Chain A
Amino acid sequence: MYVAVKGGEAAIANAHRLLADERRGDRSVPELDVAQIREQMSLLVDRIMTEGSVYDRDLAALALKQARGDVTEAIFLVRAWRNTLPRFGASAPVDTAAMRIRRRVSATWKDLPGGQVLGPTFDYTHRLVDFALAAGGEPEAAATAEPADDSRDCPRVTDLLDDESLIERHDAVADGPAPDLTREPLAFPANRSLRLQALARGDEGFILALGYSTQRGYGRTHPFVGEIRTGDVEVFFTPEELGFAAPLGRVTLTECQMVNQFHGSKERPPQFTRGYGLAFGAAERKAMAMALVDRSLRARELGEEMTSPAQDEEFVLAHCDPLQATGFVEHLKLPHYVDFQAELELVRGMRAAHAARRDAPANNETLTADPAPAREAAE
């Protein structure tokens, strides 16, 4: 129960001034500018874009600065700002097969057309803290090499075994508008398009933990990384007044194709099934975790036994949004004086009844009243 509480205006104003001051930190240290955050904290910026669900690097960097680096607060700022803007329409679905590759690896096919390209990865580093970075200084220039002839032709590896039907195909059937949870409340059962939207904007930590749970046996799906690719994809949008698709430039995306075992059913022969992850920017962990959870949420469709949280779309989709989660958890700190007062009265009443019962003669039990109805009323 919420009751208007007056007072505290001066305290609030001063708290915000203090916040601004603490955000600035020690004033003898140079202030961060948005371009520095955008360029040097780029993976954090990518996460804000993905979960804030708006691709705009400068905006995400500014939100991070305002939020003092608090990821969820920055996502909140981006989502709130987004709500003030008109929507001009929807893009054509992006063609990730035509991505300009910056990184592309497969754990299942060693030799694939276009090759395996590591790109700027943390993999194979020794995870030793580099104290030289603290001293500053410029790194050596990146190495260069002549691109191979096939470097611009990188088919998705899931398309490579097409002929044998060993890996399931998705025939694009449902064109046109996809369900949009920013316009329609989440409803169950959700179709895969709606689930993918929710997972794409879902909290990385939550999705990661759920994906991990499937690996540990809670809804096991026997995954392999068919392919992870990061790079730039051109976006097209057809405005009504133009009459043809206008290019909107390129966005950086990370895509993960998980390939999973499937034993087959009466209708379907055994084949590998797939889980899919897609995120803004360089977001490999998110894309991988999303692909694991996407696959486990297909349990009903594939007739698998449903035993685990990561297979339960209502559990996953209702709890994966970072803002909904933080909103409900953090609202607990706001004034609940009246609720609590009611609970206090209730507990006092229960204690009095308890004491009376304890002190009364053993054969007299009619004195105690059931306090449950009072509790209902208080809430």
Chain B
Amino acid sequence: MTDTPEIASSLTPLQQARRAAMAICAEATREELETVVAAVGYPGAVAILRRPETGLVLVRGRAGGDGDAFNLGEMTLTRCVVRLDDGVEGYAWTPGRDGARTRAAAIIDALVQSPTHASDLDAAMTPVRQRLADDLAVAESRTAATRVNFFTMVRGED
């Protein structure tokens, strides 16, 4: 069991690319992911090695944020494994219970690893990346408006 995710620099460039795509898939909608898959237009057959299956992952926290690990609760997760014609296998673990979304994420993971499709995929993912960045920017600016700026009353005694 890993207690901290590896830092990105310790991963291979391909692993880094897969993790980055997985992070987007985890936050994107089913429609967005299916649009990405359609835009890449993989010409071959996609075999389903493991059909989407929903289960749970235990979410752990740390006592005090920095102490011993403890089990906070679980979250729903769906996993799926696919294989492209050229033998590349794509894996997905996406939050929630949506099998179709997870299947699309698994195809995307395979495409990330496919030398002939990786750049098309990157282009197809751009709108999703942008949408997520825009949403984050909106959320951050709304939060920023509620930041407290304290000022101290200066009393007239020197």
For A, the interface residue count at a CB cutoff of 8 angstroms equals: 92
- Decide if B70 touches A110 in the complex (CB within 8 Å): no
A200 at interface (Cβ–Cβ under 8 A)?
A: yes
Task: Assess whether A349 is interfacial by the CB under 8 Å rule.
Answer: no
- Chain B residues 68-105 with CB under 8 Å of chain A are 68-77, 79, 81, 91, 93-97
Q: What 0/1 readout, one digit per residue, does chain A (243-284) give for beta carbons within 8 Å of chain B?
A: 111111111010101000000000000000010101110000
A94/B61 in contact, CB under 8 A: yes
Question: Is A197's beta carbon under 8 Å from chain B?
Answer: yes
B62 within 8 A of A: yes
Out of A118, A177, A247, name the residue touching B146 (CB < 8 Å).
A118
* Binary contact readout A135-158 vs B (1 if CB under 8 angstroms, 0 otherwise): 000000011111110010000101
| Chain A nearest Cβ from B84, distance in angstroms | 17
Q: Would you call A53 an interface residue if the criterion is a C-beta within 8 Å of the partner chain's C-beta atoms?
A: yes
Q: B47 in the interface, Cβ–Cβ < 8 Å?
A: no
Name which of B20-28, B36-44, B119-127 contacts chain A: B20-28
- B155 interface residue, CB < 8 Å from A? no
Question: With a CB–CB cut-off of 8 A, which chain A residues contact B96?
Answer: 56, 58
9-residue interface stretch from A7-15, A81-89, A212-220, A310-318: A81-89
CA distance A239 to B15 in the complex (A): 14
Query: A176-B1, A246-B93, A248-B93 in contact; A276/B65 too (CB < 8 A)?
Result: yes
Min CB distance A367 to B, Å, is 62
Choice from A90, A144, A249, A255 contacting B27 with Cβ under 8 Å: A249
A118 touches B148 (CB 8 A): yes
Residue of B nearest to A245 (CB): B5
Closest residue on chain A to residue B59 by CB atoms: A91
> Is A19's CB within 8 Å of the partner chain B?
no
* B66 and A172 contacting across the interface, CB-CB below 8 Å: yes
Residues of chain B within 8 A (CB-CB) of A93 are 3-4, 60-62, 69
CB of B80, distance to nearest CB on chain A (Å): 12
A251 and B57 contact, CB distance less than 8 A: no
B133 at interface by CB-CB < 8 Å? no
Q: Check A111 for interface membership: any CB of B closer than 8 A.
A: yes
Contact A248 B26 (CB under 8 A): yes
A45 to B18 Cα, complex, angstroms:
32
C-alpha spacing A119/B15, complex, angstroms: 36
Distance A191 CA – B140 CA, assembled complex (angstroms): 38
Q: A60–B119 Cα gap in the complex (Å)? A: 39
Chain B, residue nearest A86 (CB): B55
Residues of B within 8 A of A56 (CB): 75-76, 96-97
Task: Name the CB-closest residue of A to B91.
Answer: A242
Interface segment among A36-44, A97-105, A322-330, A335-343: the answer is A97-105
A:172-226 near B, CB below 8 Å: 172-180, 182, 191-194, 196-197, 200-201
Which residues of chain A are within 8 angstroms of B15 by Cβ–Cβ distance? 243-244
How many Å lie between the Cα of A172 and that of B54 in the bound state?
A: 32
| A191 nearest CB across to chain B (Å) | 8
Shortest distance from the beta carbon of B91 to any chain A beta carbon, whole Å? 6
- CB-based contact A172/B146 at 8 Å: no
The answer to whether B136 and A158 have CB atoms under 8 Å apart is: no
**Interface-facing stretch out of A27-35, A66-74, A230-238, A355-363:** A230-238
A92-B4 contact in complex given A193-B68, A255-B65, A274-B64, C-beta closer than 8 Å? yes
Residue A241 lies at the interface, judged by CB distance under 8 Å to chain B: yes
B63 at the interface (CB under 8 A from A): yes
Which residue on chain A has the smallest CB distance to residue B89? A241
* Across-interface contacts of A116 in B (CB, < 8 A): 147-148, 150
> CB of A107 within 8 A of chain B?
no
A202 to B144, CA, bound (A): 33
A140 to chain B, nearest CB (A): 12
Contact yes or no, A144 B138, CB < 8 A: yes
B116 within 8 A of A: no
Can you name 9 A-B pairs with beta carbons within 8 Å? A50-B73, A58-B97, A86-B55, A116-B147, A178-B68, A200-B70, A235-B95, A248-B26, A249-B94
Q: Knowing that A151-B143, A276-B67, A294-B63 are A-B contacts, what are 4 other residue pairs whose CB atoms are under 8 Å apart, sorted by A's residue number?
A: A94-B60, A156-B66, A244-B18, A255-B65
